[in-house]
Structure 1
Amino acid sequence: MSISEVERAPKPRRRDAVERHDRLLTAARSEFAVRGVDASLERIARDAGVAIGTLYRHFPTRMDLLLAALEPRLREFLDGSENAMAIDDPWDGFVSYLENLFRVQAGDRGFNDFLSRRFPGSPDTERIHDQMCRQIEDVLTRAQEAGAVRPDIALADIVNLIWSNGRMIDATRTTAPNSWRRQLYLTLDAYRAAAAHPLPEPPMTDEQLYDAMVELNAAD
């Protein structure tokens, strides 16, 4: 996935317009990080010191604003992902990929929501999610082929882990903000091939997983 997919080509603007744009991004990053992707756009405009109409002139839709606001988090995630996928040992690469993913997830509720949901009306977010899913499948398959990860783990199991980790992050954000690391490593022990036992249910299909992520977005 290229960062260019979530960036918009800049156009020449007056200094005051640039300043309003920057204030809107600063306010949006703060609000989305604390309140998630459903943060009030009116509050963001008010915190930026502009009218709601000005917000919409700069960012015609919520998703335009969200993607612009999340760009630093996406860049941080991508840089960490590339480093993890370059690790020679398949198990270490798998662990590093997930730890990077959940570390960025823990630092921003908006990014947490973004990871957990699907937004089928937004082609940009669909491309980003598809690329993330391919990355997860790549690091997972590599570790499985090396015999490090049990063969019955699927993409849906990793997304389930993202969901459960998101709830833990919300619950422990102020009391024990690093608790997610303990839970991740407990789960990783269960993912090891040597610890495998038969599972009572198959993983969700790709179609079921997609529908569940869309439903989660609709429910929230």
Structure 2
Amino acid sequence: MSIGDLELTQTPRRRDAQERHDRLIAAARREFAARGVDASLERIARDADVAIGTLYRHFPTRMDLLMSAFEPRLREFLDGSTKALEIDDPWEGFVYYLENLFRVQAGDRGFNDFLSRRFPGSADTERIHDQMCEQIEDVLTRAQEAGEARPDITLADIVNLIWSNGRMIDATSTTAPNAWRRYLYLMLDAYRAKRAHPIPEPPMTDRQLYDAMVHLSTAD
């Protein structure tokens, strides 16, 4: 067999492998968006018309598949976060950050799960969550230093808002898919410094917040 013959026989196999990979990504995006990060891998493989073993050859772990499936949404979210920090008015930057965050969250149940949880076994997701937390603190601190956001808001308060919004999205996605915007703006009024009143309960610590996000990943 000549080198030319070998190339002709190998190229279709490479193309077929890429097609299977693409079908798996497309099926994963549909399933994770509809059913969350715990969606059945067997169903994803079936929807992609491949064997489960083929899925694992392409994506050895669930997190490998999640990261590949979420890549466009992650890029969209992180690009929006960067834009928020570039807005001159600190309060408007804070508002833009949260609206972008919740808009992306509302469009995908799996990405909603991803934002709400921690996956300590995955270095990639830990890095992304650390980056997200740093961005939240940056946009919040800017608004606080400008005297626009109340000074006692913490990262944990924003993550709690993400959790609350996620539950509301689940409840309203088919009946009032934009309801989340109303309640975001109600909360933004509560976050304004000029509306601040003493709060009887202290914020969660960073350790409590992290443990709670991990708990969401391990709870049945």
Query: Normalised by the size of structure 1, how large is the TM-score?
Result: 0.94
Counterpart position of 1:115: 115
CA distance in 2, matches of 1:202, 1:85: 27
Counterpart position of 1:192: 192
Q: Deviations over 1:114-149 (max 9, x none)?
A: 000000011100000000000000000010000000
Identity %: 85
Where 1:141 maps in the other structure, the secondary structure is helix
Q: Deviations over 1:136-177 (max 9, x none)?
A: 000000100000000000000000000000000000010000
AA in 2 matched with 1:116: S
Indicate the structure (1 or 2) with the bigger Cα radius of gyration.
2
Q: CA deviation at 1:78?
A: 1.4
Runs of 4+ in 1 over 3 A off after TM superposition: none
Counterpart position of 2:150: 150
CA distance in 2, matches of 1:83, 1:135: 11
Counterpart position of 1:201: 201
AA in 2 matched with 1:53: G
CA distance in 2, matches of 1:85, 1:24: 35
AA in 1 matched with 2:36: G
Q: CA RMSD in A?
A: 1.0
Q: CA deviation at 1:85?
A: 1.2
Where 1:200 maps in the other structure, the secondary structure is coil
Q: CA deviation at 1:82?
A: 1.6
Unmatched tracts of structure 2, length 5 or more: 1-10
**Residue 213, structure 1, aligned to residue 216, structure 2:** no
CA distance in 1, matches of 2:178, 2:170: 12
CA distance in 2, matches of 1:55, 1:216: 26
Where 1:14 maps in the other structure, the secondary structure is helix
Q: CA deviation at 1:197?
A: 0.1
AA in 2 matched with 1:62: R
AA in 2 matched with 1:54: T
CA distance in 2, matches of 1:203, 1:218: 23
AA in 2 matched with 1:181: R
Where 2:190 maps in the other structure, the secondary structure is helix
Q: CA deviation at 1:104?
A: 0.1
CA distance in 2, matches of 1:58, 1:218: 25
Unmatched tracts of structure 1, length 5 or more: 1-11
Q: How many residue pairs align between the two structures?
A: 209
**Residue 139, structure 1, aligned to residue 139, structure 2:** yes
AA in 1 matched with 2:65: L
Query: Normalised by the size of structure 2, how large is the TM-score?
Result: 0.94
Q: CA deviation at 1:46?
A: 0.1
Q: CA deviation at 1:81?
A: 1.3
Counterpart position of 1:103: 103
Q: CA deviation at 1:62?
A: 0.1
CA distance in 2, matches of 1:181, 1:19: 38
Counterpart position of 1:9: none
CA distance in 2, matches of 1:171, 1:72: 25
AA in 2 matched with 1:207: R
Q: CA deviation at 1:83?
A: 1.5
